[in-house]
Structure 1
Amino acid sequence: MTDIGNAVGIIGGTGLTTLSGLKINDTRNVETPWGAPSSELTHGLLDGQPVVFLSRHGNPHQIPPHQVNYRANIKALYDAGVRTVIGVNAVGGIHPDMGPARVVIPDQIIDYTWGRAGTFFEGDLRQVTHIDFTWPYDQAARDVLIQAARTHDVPFAGFGVYGATQGPRLETAAEIRRMERDGCDLVGMTGMPEAALAAELGIRYVCLGLVVNWAAGKSDHIITMEEIDAAIDQGMSGVRRILEVSMASMGALTALPQSF
């Protein structure tokens, strides 16, 4: 069993269904009060650090963003002893500095999703519970990822507002223009409610984004899967490198107080 508070959780998104370099100790199919998570939990060591890996879209990649059981995923990691989570996300670039194959470590998020089960605090409650969500991404964990990217020369942007959309379709050019006016620098479909659910359980949460395409209307051509796959092939090595070299520092972060 993983030591409580010591294991780092990694949620792999598009392009990261499995985690190479992970020395696997165990794989477990688990259940939570909110059902089964997207995939089995893979327990192992990455650069000597205990890690629990979960594939957000399943393995094989088959669960669309709006049907991911985010509550089960986060609760399964929490029950496995995870108190720090790195969410790996494939995103589209809006900001000029966030082109394809570039890593982004955002600092804010705007939620445009709807209809998703987005809280643990509902149903038969003793009292209504609100969490502070001013800073959705843990700054200490962000600092670790930024330092890892900088030290190992991975091209990255250490800022950004993530606009979380419903999917599974991509956005229109008009929607991206609106999001840009709102202050969004990148767009993705899985950033919420994942980050808020982690906050409800007192888990440190940070996003490690990989830009896989220019957002709609930000290039002179339509978005193709070939373009996305090429950016994943080019940029995922940087994501994996950041994960590997940041593990020890991530594991050393003090666990946040238990909230649930």
Structure 2
Amino acid sequence: MSVRIAIIGGTGVYDPNILDNIRDEKVSTAYGEVGMKIGDYQGKSVAFLNRHGVGHSVPPHLVNYRANIAALKELGVKSIFATAAVGSLNRNMAPGHFVFSDQFLDFTKVRKNTFFEGGEQGVVHIDMTDPYCPELRKVLTSAAEDLGLTYHRYGTYVTCEGPRFETPAEIKMYQLLGGDLVGMTSVPEVVLAREKEMCYANISMVTNYAAGISPTKLTHQEVLDVMAENAGNLKKLAMKAISLIDPERGCLCQEALERLNKE
């Protein structure tokens, strides 16, 4: 059975046991070998990729994003649901809420963020007008509605380098620029997925208000605690979304390079 759907698990979302008939898979790519688990859900084959490795051993700025995305492409994946724990810059987006981002701001610094570095790959300027697949975001909205979860269908995800948390001054700047959420993983994942012509949707769970907004100093344990409290809802949301999509669905995201070449 072809693997057309993938979940990229972020902080606190390491539970492939939501799948049946689970097997371990290792995929070799030009950027490194990637381990993941593949299982079945309602007759659909799903890949579960642990972004930060076993025991959260890989910090966000050192994740091998290119290998991860290339491995999913190698499997034949068309649709990616990527989970993330985020801080909120928007008081309307409270801890425990879900946000299906539609835009991002990129403040990363040292990451390999493209497959196209000249040479044999050439130079490609990929369109990112709608970075997060609009169709998958509609599916997530429908899933959240069906489950009665509190969600926001729009949000601008500010991706920071990490692994440190942000200063209050940085948070204020991000707010002024229109940011709603702050996290450390969405870029370059979302960009690489578009370069590989895969649909990518972000499922952000707000775990805290960001520095300068939160009344307390931030800790990673706070993030883990809120994720643990809401892990059940996150799993239900992801699996409900998977139940709603056709694994063989087509989309403009899956024609990104073809459309680029026609312009």
TM range (shorter): over 0.9
1:198 to 186, 193, 198: 193
Task: Please say if 1:24 is aligned against 2:21.
Answer: yes
C-alpha deviation, 1:174, in angstroms:
0.4
Asked if the contact 1:11/1:86 (under 8 Å) is kept, the reply is yes
Aligned match of 1:73: 68
Query: 1:85·1:205 contact (CA, 8 Å) conserved in 2?
Result: yes
2:34 equivalent to 1:48? no
Correspondent of 2:161 among 142, 166, 183? 166
Deviations 1:109-158 (A, max 9, x none): 01000120000001423642111011100000000001100111011111
Counterpart of 1:108, as a letter, is Q
Q: Which of the numbers 6, 30, 35 marks the counterpart of 1:33?
A: 30
Q: Is contact 2:143–2:237 with CA below 8 Å preserved after alignment? A: yes
Report SS of the residue matched to 1:223: coil
TM-score (norm 1): 0.93
Unaligned runs of 5+ in 1: none
- Determine whether 1:91 maps to 2:68: no
Structure 2 letter corresponding to 1:103: F
How far does residue 99 in structure 1 lie from its aligned partner after superposition?
1.6
C-alpha root-mean-square deviation of aligned residues, in Å?
1.6
Question: What is the TM-score when the length of structure 2 is the normalising length?
Answer: 0.92
1:237 is aligned to: 232
**CA–CA distance in 2 between the matches of 1:180 and 1:29?**
41
> C-alpha separation between the residues in 2 aligned to 1:111 and 1:11?
20
Q: Evaluate the alpha carbon distance shift between residue 225 and residue 131 of structure 1 in structure 2; reply closer, same or farther with a 3 A threshold.
A: closer
Match of 1:218 in 2: 213
How many residues get paired?
A: 255
Query: C-alpha displacement at 1:50, in angstroms?
Result: 1.3
The residue number in structure 2 matching 1:257 is: 255
Cα shift readout 1:174-224 (whole Å, capped 9, x = no counterpart): 000000000000000001000000000110000001111111111211112
Q: Is the 8 A contact 1:176 1:215 kept in 2?
A: yes
> In structure 1, the residue corresponding to 2:185 is in which secondary structure?
coil
Tell me if the contact between 1:48 and 1:248 (Cα under 8 Å) persists in the aligned partners. Answer: no
Which structure is higher in helix share?
A: 2
Whether the aligned pair in 2 keeps the contact of 1:103 and 1:238 (CA below 8 Å) is: no
Q: Answer whether contact 2:115 2:121 (CA < 8 A) is retained.
A: no
Whether contact under 8 Å (2:116, 2:122) holds in the other structure is no
C-alpha separation between the residues in 2 aligned to 1:207 and 1:239?
A: 12
Amino acid at match of 2:123: V
Alpha-carbon distance between aligned partners in 1 of 2:123 and 2:256, rounded to the nearest angstrom: 17
Q: Which residue of 2 aligns with 1:111?
A: 106
In 1, distance between residues paired with 2:257 and 2:76? 14
Aligned positions of 1:176-191 closer than 5 A = 176-191=171-186
Segments of 5+ residues of structure 2 without an aligned counterpart are 259-263
Q: What's the CA shift for 1:259? A: 4.2
Q: Cα 1:259–1:44, aligned 2, differ >3 Å: closer, same or farther?
A: farther
Secondary structure of 2:32's counterpart equals: coil
Q: CA deviation at 1:229?
A: 2.3
Change in Cα spacing, 1:126 to 1:83, as seen in structure 2 (3 Å) is closer
Aligned to 2:261: none
